[in-house]
Structure 1
Amino acid sequence: MANKHIKNYFYILFVQCGNYIFPLITIPVVSRIFGPELMGKYVLLTSIVGYFSLFVNYSFNYTGVRRITRGFERKNEIFYTIFFSQFIIALVISSFFLVCVYNIPLLSENKLLSFICFISVFACLGQQNWIFQAYSDFKLITYISVLTKICALIFILIFVKHKDDMELYAFIVQLSIFVGAFIGFILSILKYKIKWVPPEFSVCLQYLKDDFYIFISSILSNLYTTTGVVILGMMTSNTEVGLYSSAQKIIDLMRNFSLLPLNMLIFPLLSAAFGHNKEIALEHIRRVMPLFCVFCLLSAVFIFLFGDLIILAFFGEQFSASSLLLKILSIGFVAVFFGVVIGGQVILNLQFDKQFVIMQLIVAIVSLILNFMILPSGGAITTAIIWSFSEVLMTGLQIIFLRMKGINLFYIQYFKPKLLFKTAIGLISK
Structure 2
Amino acid sequence: MTIARFRSQNCCRLGMMITNFKNKFLGNKEKKRLVINIFSLSVLQGANYILPLLTIPYLVRVLGPDLFGLLAFGTATSMYFMLITDYGFNLSATRQISIYRDNTYKVNEIFSAVMIIKITLMIISLILMSVLVLSFNKFHQDWEVYYLSFGMVLGQVIFPVWLFQGMERMKYITYLNICSKAFFTICIFIFVQNKDDYLLVPLLTSLGYVIAGIISLYIIKKEFDVKFIWQNLSVLKEQLKEGWHIFFSSIAVSLYTISTTFILGLLTDNTIVGYFSAADKIVKAVKGLYAPIAQAIYPMIGKKMHENQKEGVTFIQKTTWIVGGGMFLISTVLFVLADQIVNIMLGWQYAESILLLKIMAFLPFIICLSNIFGIQTMLNLGYKKEFSVFVVIGAALGMILIFCLTPIYAAVGVSVSILLVEMLITIMLGIFLIFKFKKGKL
Shared fold (TM-score, shorter chain, > 0.5): yes
Aligned partner of residue 172 in structure 2, secondary structure: helix
Among 286, 297, 301, which residue is 1:270 paired with? 301
Contact 2:94 2:166 in 1 (8 A): yes
Name the counterpart of 2:11. none
Judged with a 3 Å threshold, the aligned counterparts in structure 2 of structure 1 residues 407 and 69 are, in CA distance, closer, same or farther, namely farther
Offset of 1:7 from its aligned partner? 2.5
Offset of 1:110 from its aligned partner? 0.7
Contact 1:332 1:389 in 2 (8 A): no
Corresponding letter in the other structure for 1:167: L
Name the counterpart of 1:185. 217
Name the counterpart of 2:276. 244
Corresponding letter in the other structure for 2:55: T
Separation (CA, whole Å) in 1 of partners of 2:434 and 2:41: 33
Q: How does 1:295-374 map to 2 (within 5 A)?
A: 295-374=326-405
Asked whether 1:233 is paired with 2:262, we answer no
Corresponding letter in the other structure for 2:244: F
Offset of 1:13 from its aligned partner? 1.7
Separation (CA, whole Å) in 2 of partners of 1:161 and 1:402: 52
Offset of 1:408 from its aligned partner? 9.6
Offset of 1:247 from its aligned partner? 0.8
Asked whether 1:57 is paired with 2:89, we answer no
Asked whether 1:150 is paired with 2:179, we answer no
Offset of 1:392 from its aligned partner? 0.5
Task: Note the residue ranges of structure 2 that are not aligned, 5 or more in a row.
Answer: 1-28
Superposed CA deviations along residues 178-227 of structure 1, whole A, max 9, x for unmatched, are 21122112212221111332211331122112321110100000001121
Q: How does 1:111-190 map to 2 (within 5 A)?
A: 111-190=143-222
Corresponding letter in the other structure for 2:224: Y
Asked whether 1:289 is paired with 2:320, we answer yes
Aligned residues: 408
Aligned partner of residue 380 in structure 2, secondary structure: coil
Name the counterpart of 2:118. 86
Separation (CA, whole Å) in 1 of partners of 2:245 and 2:50: 36
Offset of 1:98 from its aligned partner? 1.3
Offset of 1:17 from its aligned partner? 2.0
Offset of 1:288 from its aligned partner? 2.2
Name the counterpart of 1:19. 48
Per mean C-alpha deviation after superposition, the further-off stretch among 11-20 and 317-326 is 11-20
Aligned partner of residue 120 in structure 2, secondary structure: helix
Separation (CA, whole Å) in 2 of partners of 1:63 and 1:277: 19
Separation (CA, whole Å) in 1 of partners of 2:242 and 2:177: 31
Name the counterpart of 1:424. none
Offset of 1:65 from its aligned partner? 1.1
Name the counterpart of 2:19. none
Per mean C-alpha deviation after superposition, the further-off stretch among 9-18 and 167-176 is 9-18
Corresponding letter in the other structure for 2:206: Q
Name the counterpart of 1:199. 231
Asked whether 1:31 is paired with 2:60, we answer yes
Separation (CA, whole Å) in 2 of partners of 1:126 and 1:195: 14
Name the counterpart of 1:255. 287
Q: Normalized against structure 2, the TM-score is what?
A: 0.89
CA RMSD of aligned residues (A): 1.6
Separation (CA, whole Å) in 1 of partners of 2:47 and 2:262: 28
Separation (CA, whole Å) in 2 of partners of 1:407 and 1:188: 44
Name the counterpart of 1:98. 130
Contact 1:333 1:388 in 2 (8 A): no
Q: Normalized against structure 1, the TM-score is what?
A: 0.92
Offset of 1:345 from its aligned partner? 0.2
Judged with a 3 Å threshold, the aligned counterparts in structure 2 of structure 1 residues 404 and 196 are, in CA distance, closer, same or farther, namely same
Offset of 1:407 from its aligned partner? 5.7
Name the counterpart of 1:44. 73
Separation (CA, whole Å) in 2 of partners of 1:298 and 1:136: 29
Name the counterpart of 1:385. 416
Corresponding letter in the other structure for 1:129: V
Superposed CA deviations along residues 94-141 of structure 1, whole A, max 9, x for unmatched, are 222211110022211111111001111111211211111112112222
Corresponding letter in the other structure for 1:20: Y
Superposed CA deviations along residues 64-97 of structure 1, whole A, max 9, x for unmatched, are 1111122221101111110011111112222222
Among 279, 283, 286, which residue is 2:310 paired with? 279
Contact 2:152 2:206 in 1 (8 A): yes
Superposed CA deviations along residues 130-179 of structure 1, whole A, max 9, x for unmatched, are 11111211222222111122222221111101111111121011111121
Superposed CA deviations along residues 275-329 of structure 1, whole A, max 9, x for unmatched, are 1121211111112221123212211221122111111111111111111111110
Name the counterpart of 1:425. none
Corresponding letter in the other structure for 1:214: I
Separation (CA, whole Å) in 2 of partners of 1:39 and 1:118: 17
Contact 2:159 2:214 in 1 (8 A): yes
Judged with a 3 Å threshold, the aligned counterparts in structure 2 of structure 1 residues 24 and 100 are, in CA distance, closer, same or farther, namely closer
Judged with a 3 Å threshold, the aligned counterparts in structure 2 of structure 1 residues 212 and 60 are, in CA distance, closer, same or farther, namely same
Offset of 1:253 from its aligned partner? 0.7
Aligned partner of residue 381 in structure 2, secondary structure: coil
Offset of 1:358 from its aligned partner? 0.8
Aligned partner of residue 237 in structure 2, secondary structure: helix
Judged with a 3 Å threshold, the aligned counterparts in structure 2 of structure 1 residues 196 and 383 are, in CA distance, closer, same or farther, namely closer
Separation (CA, whole Å) in 2 of partners of 1:407 and 1:101: 52
Contact 2:334 2:361 in 1 (8 A): yes
Aligned partner of residue 407 in structure 2, secondary structure: coil
Counting aligned pairs with the same residue, the percent is: 28
Corresponding letter in the other structure for 1:180: A
Offset of 1:5 from its aligned partner? 3.0
